[in-house]
A and B are shown apart, each in its own frame.
Chain A
Amino acid sequence: GDSVTQMEGPVTLSEEAFLTINCTYTATGYPSLFWYVQYPGEGLQLLLKATKADDKGSNKGFEATYRKETTSFHLEKGSVQVSDSAVYFCALTPGGAQKLVFGQGTRLTINP
């Protein structure tokens, strides 16, 4: 079945460091790919998405590129801030379906 595998956390970085959170997927058809973020004490928010191969989603300085050849959707940010501390979830919707399949989440902590 469809699945998402995320880089295991927790991840701790210093402010202004470069961030990569790896995400790979297994899916039939042509899934859409998403990154959701959950800040402390808040709900899930859509961070960015990509709906077809080679699309790049971007938001708040974060980027992820839909790589069909490597079945990956890695999240990157060039310079992280303390306010980026949160849990990040990679997810997909299988082609033609509306059901989100999530990875296990990666807790990110940024120290000043």
Chain B
Amino acid sequence: EAGVTQFPSHSVIEKGQTVTLRCDPISGHDNLYWYRRVMGKEIKFLLHFVKESKQDESGMPNNRFLAERTGGTYSTLKVQPAELEDSGVYFCASSRPLRTASSGNTIYFGEGSWLTVV
């Protein structure tokens, strides 16, 4: 079974440019998440999709960030325009549908997309 895959693995762009990150979750995983870790700080939640719907986008830092998951399969995260403080690693993750409130579903992560804004 293929894991969570992310593209590109590394990206270097200039301030003001646009970057689009893509994530393909594990097949059958309705839940898809975006997280990021900037400058050696803790990994922070950005948002959560259930199929194509945004379940929780409370972690999105500002309106320069746009996440989509058309058709409930892969997802994209666009940063437009990019700023220096957006540099970091962006992780995508996925998990199976949550069947019980206390099931503690395992969340599987991709290898991350490393973004450098110069």
Interface size for B (C-beta < 8 A) is 30
B45 interface residue per 8 A CB criterion: yes
Inter-chain CA distance A32–B106, complex, in Å, is 10
Given contacts A30-B102, A32-B104, A96-B102, contact A42 B42 (CB under 8 A): no
B42 touching A51 by the CB < 8 A rule?
no
B43 interface residue per 8 A CB criterion: yes
Q: How far is the CB of B94 from chain A (nearest CB, A)?
A: 10
A25 interface residue per 8 A CB criterion: no
Inter-chain CA distance A93–B95, complex, in Å, is 13
Given the complex, which residues of A lie within 8 Å of B75, measured CB to CB?
Answer: none
Our count of residue pairs bridging A and B at CB distance below 8 angstroms stands at: 67
Chain B, residues 73-111, CB within 8 Å of chain A (1/0): the string is: 000000000000000000101010010011111111111
A35 interface residue per 8 A CB criterion: no
Which secondary structure dominates chain A's binding surface? loop
B110 touching A43 by the CB < 8 A rule?
yes
Chain A's interface size range is 20 to 34
Q: Give the contacting residue for B112; candidates A43, A51, A52, A96; CB below 8 A.
A: A43
Q: How far is the CB of A107 from chain B (nearest CB, A)?
A: 9
Given the complex, which residues of A lie within 8 Å of B65, measured CB to CB?
Answer: none
**A93, A100, A102, A103 pick with most chain B CB within 10 angstroms:** A100
B42 touching A104 by the CB < 8 A rule?
yes
Q: How far is the CB of B22 from chain A (nearest CB, A)?
A: 15
Residues of A bordering B, CB below 8 Å: 30, 32, 36, 42-46, 49, 51-52, 89, 91, 93, 95-96, 98-105
Residues of B bordering A, CB below 8 Å: 6, 31, 33, 35, 37, 40-45, 48, 55-56, 91, 93, 95, 98, 101-112
